Amino acid sequence: MLSFIIRRAFSIIPTLLGVSIIIFLMLAITPGDPAELLLGERATEETLEAMREHLGLNEPLYVQYGMFLKRLIKFDLGETIWTRQKVWDEIKQRYPATIELSIAAMFLSCFFGIILGIISATKQYSWFDYMSMIASLIGVSIPVFWLGLVLMLVFSLYLGWFPMSGRMGIGIDLEIITNFYVLDAILTRNWPALKDVLWHLTLPAFALSTIPLAIIARMTRSSMLEVLRQDYIKTAKAKGLGQTKIVLKHALRNGLIPVITVIGLQFGIMLGAAILTETVFAWPGVGKWIFDGVVKRDYMVIQGGTLVVAACFVIVNLIVDVLYAVINPRISVK
Amino acid sequence: MSLFAITANPEDRHPIFDQIEKLFRNKTGVAGLIIITIFVLCALLAPVISPHNPVENSLYDQLKPPIWSPGGAMKNILGTDDLGRDILSRIIYGARVSLMVGVVSVGIGLFFGSLLGAIAGYYKGWLDSIIMRFMDILLAFPHILLAIVIVAYLGPGLRNAMMAIGIITIPRFARIVRASVMEEFEKDYVTAARAVGARNRRILFNAILPNCLAPIIVQASLGFGSAILDAAGLSFLGLGAQPPTPEWGAMIAMGRSMILRAWWVMTLPGIAILLGVLGFNLLGDGLRDALDPRLRD
């Protein structure tokens, strides 16, 4: 198993290199002087020349890529054009917000998705099954940004139940330790802040959870249906076990194996796809930051942000693969 | 006579008829077909059926509510936006834009994806490794992010957005076609074609690919839905269709600023996106059941 994990971990290196090449080439092939693109129109000739020297723009492309890679290894992603902050520091500060939102959304999708999937599978072809499968088809077809706005309209503006945007209300005092506000509030035992943070988290998490929820529900249903047809389930029935016990103790363990892969993949996708939800809810995560970078044509932000999000996506997929092998010994080390 | 022509017994039905019959027996597929037919008719007949010009401003009709709300009138059934443009007409014309996005993006993905996937699956070896590694790299980006980044470099606009969505669709087609080609490769008809001396290109494109159509069609239908969704997302962010183009995502973005004053400006185009995408997803599901039950979840 250990050798499988090591082999799988090494296998992401070419992918990561490929990702870095694509991101490097995107800037290289964009029309215009990369130094000017990176420094913005306000840059003076001296700073432009210094940037050209720093990036090696007078060198051949492969040397430039080598220099780019060298800087990457040192986590030197440069400075943003607009705020002149270190890109890496900005990402470190913002990624927790995105991860927190994604975890909350994933929690909602797993909880409701798995329950819906199990009930649909045990009551196949019932009205509940039809309804939940129609709902899940609507779930994968819904534009997340639109749903976010509708939720905001109904629950924030009309009903006033939830705040419209942001991570925390003004006037809430919270000592920031990890930048994961929920965790920080728990660590400092600041319950009013925890309540406020969760209150702010609910609507964006719900909007972001719809697509994964629908996919998880469909996957759980089909996987459970397959497991419920197996002989060992018939044996359990023949032994006289109750339906609930059969489903929860015998079928669920095997039925959830393929679902775990989907959950992992969806989590990886969320880290990047949160860009729309974050923009709608003014959630100060890395997605909104990248989008703001796109609007301001801050190529340092686009480059650094995309690289880190893609790297995280690859690593999450690696973890999913390893987890899958751990849970399902049949496919392990092959 | 072509090498692969079959002398058919006139009493035998072509399998395609069985599959069409299966599709029509499938409720999901039929529901999808109905929605898509309406969607395509709206797109094609937009100039005939839309009550107003979608880009014509009317200062006297600003922010008129839909007919069922107090103050609504027959003139603008779904109300108007802040420039007095008729929402229904813009939604109808929006179907045109979405249909075009779907056709172009899925076209790009289907053409290049199928070509690359077919080559990888047929020739295997180093060619397969290089192509599929490249596809893996494209798949290493969360797809909407990749689309946003591509548009960020190419510049905003509907054409670039369609291209970006097309590019992110390529790996999905490539993977599916590669797997199907590899499966078909082992079959007797391929061995027979090789035995009679058919050239690789002929075997691949004339014999194998037509047999891989089922999963390609299913993916195209599902891809159409997701292309519409992605294009709407890009336009919502201001990276796709630019004003005054009547595009559903851009309409939502515009309605956002007046969300409290005029809820219909933002809400109704969203329902159009939902229905359009739902139609293609339903059809995709129905097609999968009819054409290729192995692909089910």
Q: Which of B134, B152, B232 sits opposite A143 (nearest CB)?
A: B232
In angstroms, the CA A229 to CA A246 distance is 12
Task: Report the predicted TM-score, pTM, of the whole model to 2 decimal places.
Answer: 0.88
At residue B95, what is the residue type?
A
In angstroms, the CA A18 to CA A24 distance is 10
Q: CA A4: distance to chain centroid?
A: 25
For the segment B107-134, the average pLDDT, to the nearest whole number, is 92
DSSP state of B50: -
Strand, helix or coil at B86? strand
Beta-carbon contacts of residue A6 (< 8 Å; ≥ 6 apart): none
The reply to whether residue A306 touches residue B136, judged by beta carbons under 8 angstroms, is no
Q: What percent of chain B has pLDDT over 90?
A: 48
If one counts every other C-beta atom within 10 angstroms of the C-beta of residue A41, the result is 8
* pLDDT at A283 (0 to 100): 92
Q: Which residues of chain B neighbour A275 with C-beta distances below 8 Å?
A: 144-145, 148
- CA-to-CA separations, A140 to A104, A160, A278, B186, B222, in angstroms, rounded: 19, 27, 19, 36, 11
User: A21 — alpha (psi -120 to 50), left (phi > 0) or beta?
Assistant: alpha
* pLDDT at A240 (0 to 100): 84
Say whether pLDDT at A25 is over 60.
yes
In angstroms, the CA A233 to CA A169 distance is 51
For the segment B121-130, the average pLDDT, to the nearest whole number, is 90
For the segment A293-311, the average pLDDT, to the nearest whole number, is 87
Strand, helix or coil at B206? helix
DSSP state of B47: H
In angstroms, the CA A270 to CA A277 distance is 10
The reply to whether residue B152 touches residue A141, judged by beta carbons under 8 angstroms, is no
* pLDDT at A10 (0 to 100): 86
Residue B179, judged by CB atoms within 10 A of its CB (0-12, 13-18, 19+), counts as middle
At residue A246, what is the residue type?
I
- A194: pLDDT confidence band, cut at 50, 70 and 90? very high
DSSP output for A10-66: HHHHHHHHHHHHHHHHHHHHSSS-HHHHHH-TT--HHHHHHHHHHHTTTS-HHHHHH
At residue A203, what is the residue type?
L
Residue whose structure tokens are 């503006």: A157
Torsion of CA A259, A263, A266, A268, to 10 degrees: -130
Q: CA A65: distance to chain centroid?
A: 28
* CA-based nearest residue in chain B for residue A295: B152
* pLDDT at B207 (0 to 100): 86
Of B265, B262, B278, the C-alpha closest to B86 is B265
Q: Do B229 and A143 touch, CB atoms closer than 8 A? A: yes
Say whether pLDDT at A22 is over 70.
yes
* pLDDT at A103 (0 to 100): 93
Count CB pairs under 8 A between chains A and B: 138
Q: Which residues of chain B neighbour A16 with C-beta distances below 8 Å?
A: 140
At residue B264, what is the residue type?
W
* pLDDT at A52 (0 to 100): 80
Beta-carbon contacts of residue B92 (< 8 Å; ≥ 6 apart): B42, B46, B49, B50, B54
Phi and psi at residue A315, to the nearest 5°: -70, -40
Q: CA A139: distance to chain centroid?
A: 18
Look over chain A and give the mean of its residue pLDDT values, rounded to a whole number.
86
- B265: pLDDT confidence band, cut at 50, 70 and 90? very high
For the segment A5-18, the average pLDDT, to the nearest whole number, is 87
- Closest-CA distance of chain A to residue B140, Å: 6
In angstroms, the CA B50 to CA B78 distance is 12
Beta-carbon contacts of residue A168 (< 8 Å; ≥ 6 apart): A174, A181, A193, A196, A197, A200
- Closest-CA distance of chain A to residue B165, Å: 14
Q: Which residues of chain A neighbour B285 with C-beta distances below 8 Å?
A: 137
The reply to whether residue B236 touches residue A276, judged by beta carbons under 8 angstroms, is yes
Q: Which of B145, B236, B281 sits opposite A309 (nearest CB)?
A: B145
Q: Residue B287 has which token pair?
A: 């097609």
Residue A296, judged by CB atoms within 10 A of its CB (0-12, 13-18, 19+), counts as middle
For the segment A127-143, the average pLDDT, to the nearest whole number, is 91
Q: Which of A19, A153, A275 sits opposite B144 (nearest CB)?
A: A275
* CA-based nearest residue in chain B for residue A277: B233
In angstroms, the CA B253 to CA A276 distance is 12
For B27-48, b/e burial (b = at least 16 CB within 10 A) is ebbebbbebbeebeebbeebee
In angstroms, the CA B73 to CA A201 distance is 40
* Per-residue model confidence as pLDDT tens digits over A145-193: 999 999 999 999 999 999 988 888 888 888 888 889 899 999 998 898 9
For the segment B265-272, the average pLDDT, to the nearest whole number, is 94
Strand, helix or coil at A79? strand
Q: Which of B133, B270, B285 sits opposite A150 (nearest CB)?
A: B270
Q: Residue A234 has which token pair?
A: 């018939």
Say whether pLDDT at B98 is over 60.
yes
* pLDDT at B58 (0 to 100): 83
For the segment A29-39, the average pLDDT, to the nearest whole number, is 75
Beta-carbon contacts of residue B254 (< 8 Å; ≥ 6 apart): B81, B82, B243, B265, B266
